[in-house]
Amino acid sequence: MAAAVERDLPLTGAPPAGPPAADAPPAGAEAAGAAAGHVEIEGLAAGYDGHRVLDLDRLSVRRGEFLSILGPSGCGKTTLLNAIAGFVAPDTGRILVDGADITGLPPHRRELGMVFQNYALFPHLSVAGNVAYGLRVHRVPKRERAERVAEALRLVGLEEFAGRRPRALSGGQQQRVAIARALATRPAVLLLDEPLSNLDAKLRREMRVELRKIQRSVGTTMVFVTHDQEEALSLSDRIAVLNGGRLEQLGTPDEVYRRPASRFVAQFIGAANVLEGTVRDDGSLDVGGAAVATGLPDPVPGREAVVAVRPERIRLSPAAGAAGPAAGVTGTVSYRAFTGDAWQVEVRTAGGLVLTVRVADSGAGGADPPGTGTAVTASWDPADLIVLEPGAGR
Amino acid sequence: MAHIPTAGRRARWRGAVYTVPLLVFLLALFVAPLVRLLQLSLRPVDGNNAALPGYTGHQYVRVLTEPFFYEALVRTIVTAALVTVLCVVLAYPAAYALARRRPGLVRTLLFVVVLSPLLTSVVVRSYGWVVLLGANGPVNRTLVGIGVLDQPAHLLTSYSAVVVSVTHVLLPFAIVPLTTALGGLDRDVLRASRILGAGPVRTFARVTVPLSLPGALSGALVVFALAMGIYITPLLVGGANQPLAGIRVYDQISTVFDFPVAAALSFVLLLITVLCTTGLGAAFRTWERRLHG
């Protein structure tokens, strides 16, 4: 218990092994040749009533990084967080923090921090009392405690609210108190369970910036659970995409977005159009009768292949007569909706294929995308095509 | 009041109309007898303890100066306080177990067990204690059998037997509100305490208890009020000589036939109960305001 107190990480200012550059993933750990990450999860499986909800081979969190665990509800992401925190006992596997096995430790001996979705502040304590709670439990002397409470509240910009009760604060302020409370004990790792999902859209965007700022200034390793892909993309150093309790992909936001490892990742992040078909003799893909140029590395005719294309990568043009594979797919607009900065257009081909297209709005002076019923050609640069299953004989 | 629009005022009156049956019921069966009782407590008595016309404060003077009465009052307050503390302390683990249990057969059965003292008649329940605590009862035989006692103790007719049996009857009144309060606790708030380094015991003391205090207090309020007036259970288990106000009242009515002094004693008991519960209630509201204000 005393370890956390003596661990002399300053609350502000980058820790020794923190990320060197703001945007780059922390290279320090790898450069130092440390194979083990800050938090290592090995062969972790957990479930309720015989129903397995989590089955992770390996997940390594680097020191000082902001790792998002992204997935749909029921994918096991909250179970994973609760297993790290010690609220869920895994059936098998190990969790190591700084090389020490914490799998068997109760939550209060793990020296971790956690921010909950519903803030979970102590309603009977003031804001300062909430932030001081962990310090009091760790028997931090009174004077130091007061200093650290003030420091934590300064970090989240709530110094003037120290005497208030949590109920007298707005949702955003309560969440900041929760962050200050979790950071005050200087935890090795801060776990965040969908902390922004109860806030309204505007506040959520502001808190996102704030959270990233706090993470950079404190340098604490953060594991952030979310179902919101935009949140994960904009906040994280790396994203772990979870589906059905398994790790689908682990990578930086642009890796996960540009090179999704699976159909699930492609569809869950950025809602890509997935095209399945048979490779034709000319190397293009036959998708429901439409020929799609793929640029497959090593096409084998007759094989099944799966590719994906992002909605914003598709261009719409008036239907052309002669349609070669490069010219794209012809179809009719079946749906068109204005979403503010863009239009969402759905194009249905004669073969029944439906493509979702995102067309950036060209402003009041510009032309709107073709309306419902218009015949269009949807085309894209073959380089923008994401190959999910090449269908090649490897 | 003057600013309430007519429609609003009419709506308010219509709402009040619905309370009339209850109001009539309370007036006829609670307020009226109470007024009669007050009147009775102010009557002088003749040599045979029969009430005479006229008014006097003599009965109240007797209640407050004769040790037979005021010592019983003090003992009653102490007993009620003791029973209240015992009930709340015993209710916590039971309520905790109930609140944590998911709804289902086991939970329902546990609730039935908890409420069982209220579901059995006073006589049956009290004689159950008489059998249990008697000289040849299982408690004494066990104590003698394992060598704790040389011979059976007088468990029955003892003050402890009174406290135990009264606590038994009133326990459900403490458990039920506490179960509700504990069930309403946010699990994440308890988890937040754990992850901040507090073990189960400290979390219970620093988070669970303060947050469930309203439930504990409302239970305590009911238990205390009922314990102040209880007389059949202590009478059957502890005997007629227990110095409790309720038994003294019963005694004055059934054996001495001094109705006015019984009425006066009842009124003093009622007044003390009202004062104590009001004090507890004020503490309760202050805490609620701290939590939700």
pLDDT, one tens digit per residue, over B67-120 is 999 999 999 999 999 999 999 999 999 999 999 888 889 989 999 999 998 888
Q: What is the dihedral of CA B125, B128, B134, B140, to 10 degrees?
A: -110
State the CATH number of the domain containing residue B201. 1.10.3720.10
pLDDT digits (tens, 9 = 90+) for A182-208: 999 999 899 999 998 888 888 888 888
Is A123 within 8 Å of chain B by CB?
yes
- Work out the average pLDDT over B264-282: 92
Q: Do both B71 and B206 map to the same domain? A: yes
Q: Do both B149 and B231 map to the same domain? A: yes
CB contact under 8 A, B192 and A107: no
Q: What is the pLDDT of residue A6?
A: 38
Is B201 within 8 Å of chain A by CB?
no
Q: Do both B2 and B81 map to the same domain? A: no
Domain that holds residue B23: 1-31
In a domain, B60, yes or no: no
Confidence of residue A36 (pLDDT cuts 50, 70, 90): low
CB contact under 8 A, A108 and B198: yes
Distance of CA B258 to the CA centre of its chain: 26
Residue with tokens 């910036």, as numbered in its chain: A209
Q: Do both B103 and B171 map to the same domain? A: yes
Length of chain A: 394
Of chain A, the percentage scoring pLDDT greater than 70 comes to: 87
Q: Report the number of distinct structural domains present in chain B.
A: 2
- Work out the average pLDDT over B264-276: 93
Give the integer Cα–Cα distance in Å for A71 and A228. 8
Least confident window among A57-61, A316-320, B81-85: A316-320
In a domain, B165, yes or no: yes
Q: What is the pLDDT of residue A94?
A: 92
Most confident of B9-23, B43-57, B82-96: B82-96
Confidence of residue A14 (pLDDT cuts 50, 70, 90): very low
Is B74 within 8 Å of chain A by CB?
no
In a domain, B37, yes or no: no
Q: Do both B9 and B96 map to the same domain? A: no
Confidence of residue A52 (pLDDT cuts 50, 70, 90): confident
Report chain B residues whose CB lies below 8 A from the CB of A118. Answer: 186, 188
Q: How far is B111 from chain A (nearest CA, A)?
A: 25
Q: Do both B3 and B97 map to the same domain? A: no
How would you class A292 by CB atoms within 10 Å of its CB: exposed for 0-12, middle for 13-18, buried for 19 or more? buried
Closest CA to A122 of B191, B218, B289, B182: B191
Q: How far is A118 from chain B (nearest CA, A)?
A: 8
The residue in chain B having the minimum alpha-carbon distance to the alpha carbon of residue A4 is B197
Is A45 within 8 Å of chain B by CB?
no
Report chain B residues whose CB lies below 8 A from the CB of A113. Answer: 195-196
pLDDT digits (tens, 9 = 90+) for A198-255: 888 888 888 888 899 999 889 899 999 999 888 999 999 999 999 988 999 999 999 9
Is A118 within 8 Å of chain B by CB?
yes
Q: How far is A299 from chain B (nearest CA, A)?
A: 53
Q: Do both B104 and B223 map to the same domain? A: yes
Q: Do both B25 and B154 map to the same domain? A: no
Which of A137, A149, A177 should one mutate to test binding to chain B, selecting the residue with the greatest count of B CBs within 10 A?
A: A137
Is the distance from CB of A147 to CB of A169 less than 8 angstroms? no
Is B211 within 8 Å of chain A by CB?
yes
CB contact under 8 A, A122 and B192: yes
Q: Do both B195 and B278 map to the same domain? A: yes
Angle at A245 between CA A242 and CA A250, to 5 degrees: 30
In a domain, B52, yes or no: no
Q: Do both B132 and B274 map to the same domain? A: yes
Closest CA to A181 of A136, A226, A225, A219: A136
CB contact under 8 A, B197 and A124: no
Closest CA to A337 of A365, A294, A368, A316: A368
In a domain, B227, yes or no: yes
Closest CA to A381 of A282, A309, A291, A277: A309
Q: How far is B273 from chain A (nearest CA, A)?
A: 29
In a domain, B49, yes or no: no
Kindly tell me if the per-residue pLDDT of A102 is higher than 70: yes
In a domain, B40, yes or no: no
Q: Do both B143 and B191 map to the same domain? A: yes
The separation between the first and the last C-alpha atoms of chain A, rounded to the nearest angstrom, is 54
pLDDT digits (tens, 9 = 90+) for B172-228: 999 999 999 999 899 999 999 999 999 999 999 999 999 998 899 889 999 999 999
Least confident window among A25-29, A140-144, B3-7: A25-29
Kindly tell me if the per-residue pLDDT of B1 is higher than 50: no
With a CB cutoff of 8 Å and minimum separation 6, the contacts of A103 are: A90, A93, A94, A95
In a domain, B19, yes or no: yes
Q: Do both B20 and B108 map to the same domain? A: no
Residue with tokens 């011979």, as numbered in its chain: B151
Choose among B186, B193, B195: nearest Cβ to A85. Answer: B195
- The three state secondary structure string of A96-161 is EECCEECCCCCHHHCCCEEECCCCCCCCCCCHHHHHHHHHHHCCCCHHHHHHHHHHHHHHCCCHHH
Q: How far is B211 from chain A (nearest CA, A)?
A: 7
